[in-house]
Copies of this chain bind each other. A is one copy, B any other.
Amino acid sequence: MNDKLDDETYARAALTYLAEPADPCLATLLRAHGAVVALDAISTGRLPAIAEAPRGKRAMESAMVRWRTRLPLLPPPDEVLAFREAGIRLIRPGDPEWPGQLADLGDAQPYALWLRGQADLRFNCLRSVAIVGSRAATAYGSYVAAEFAASVATRGLAVISGGAFGIDAAAHRGALGADGVTVAVLACGVDTPYPAAHTELFDAIAAQGVIASEWPPGLHVSRLRFLIRNRVIAALAGGTLVVEAGERSGALNTARHARDLNRRLMAVPGPVTSDLSAGCHQVIRDWQGVLVTSAAEVAEHLAPVGHLGIGQTGDVQDLNPRDLLDLDSAKVLDAMPRRGGLGTLRVAQRAGLAPATTGACLGKLATAGLVERCDNGWRLGRA
C-alpha cells in the first residue's frame, strides 16, 4: 500500500462504519453505482436512480436513514490511514490480498476486510480448513480440535476459526503450536479482541497468522454479528470441519453456510451420550457431511482438484486454488517446469515477468504450498 488512500478504498472503509455487513439495500446500491457513489449518496442523503431496485424505494429510503445515522462515527481518510501504524490494513475486492472465493457470497460479499497480522490472507486461504465448534467444548472436543489443527497445519493447510472459547481457541492454538498459519475471523474490530481473555492468543495469531474482520477497529461484538460473521469463515475456507456442536450451536450455522457454498463439509463423531456431539452427528446423518476421524482424512478431502492420487475419485471441493491466483502468480505457476527446479531468473524469463515480481509471486506460491524451494531454485509443490 502507498501512503494515500484511493477513493474506492476509503469509500469501502467508510461503508464498514456505516452499514452492517450483508445489507441487501447497500448491495443494490453497490451493484448499480459502486462504492464511491454509494458513500457520496449516503453523505449527501440523495439517492441516485437505481434501475434495478428489488427492495423497493421505501426500503432504500429507510436504509438511507439507517446509514446516515452513523455518519458522525465516520473517521476522515487520514484517520483510516493512521490505522496502518497500529498494524491494521484494509483490503477490498480487487486487492492482491483479497480472497477471490468471497465472491461466492454474491450480494453478501464483505464490503472490505480489516486485517491485522503477518500472513497473507488470500494465499493462506487457498489451502485452508475452517475448524469450528462449541464454546463449551469438552476435554475430548478440545483435544481433537487442537490435534487435528496441528496436524493439518503441518500438512500446509491454514486453520480458520472464529477466535471464541472452546473449539475455536483449541484449533487456533493447535495450529500455532505446530508453527502453522491460522486465521481468526472476528465479529468485532481486529483491535478490540473478544473475548478479552484471548488478548494474548490474538497477539500470537497476528504474529504468525492473520486476524480478519468486516467491522472497523473499535467495534464490539453482538449476537447477530457472530451469525453474520460465520458466512465469511465458511466462504474463506476450502472446507469446514465441525468438531463438537450441540444441536443449536452457532457452529452449525457456519456448517450450513459451508454446505450452501458447496464447500467440503466434515464433522468429527463423538459419543452418542454427549449432547455436544449431537450437532456433529446431525451434520453427518442429515446434511451428507463427511465423517472424519483423522487430520489425514481432512487433508485428503481438501486435496485440490487435479492433485488427487489414483483411486481417489471425484467429489472433491469445486474450489481450485489456481483459479484464485492473481494474474502474475498464475503466470509464474504456469512457467514452472513439470519436473525438476529452476532459478528465479529462468522462471521470470519463462513467465515474461520482472525478476522482482517473480520472486514475490514465488514467495506467495510457496506459502500456499504450490511451489517449494529445491537445490537449484524452485520446483512445483508436492501437495
Binding site for B on A (CB under 8 A): 140, 143-144, 268-273, 277-278, 281, 284-285, 290-294
Contact = CB atoms under 8 A, between A and B. Distances in A.
Question: A268, A271, A290: which has the most chain B beta carbons within 10 Å?
Answer: A271
A144 B292 CA distance: 21
Nearest to A280: B269
Question: A143, A277, A285, A291: which has the most chain B beta carbons within 10 Å?
Answer: A291
Contacts of A277: 269
B271 A140 contact: yes
23 contacts: A140-B271, A140-B273, A144-B272, A269-B269, A269-B270, A269-B272, A269-B277, A269-B284, A269-B291, A270-B270, A270-B271, A270-B272, A272-B293, A272-B294, A278-B293, A281-B291, A281-B293, A284-B284, A284-B291, A285-B290, A285-B292, A285-B293, A291-B291
Nearest to A293: B272
Contacts of A290: 285
A145 B360 CA distance: 59
Contacts of A278: 293
B291 A285 contact: yes
A30 to B, nearest CB: 41
Contacts of A281: 269, 291, 293
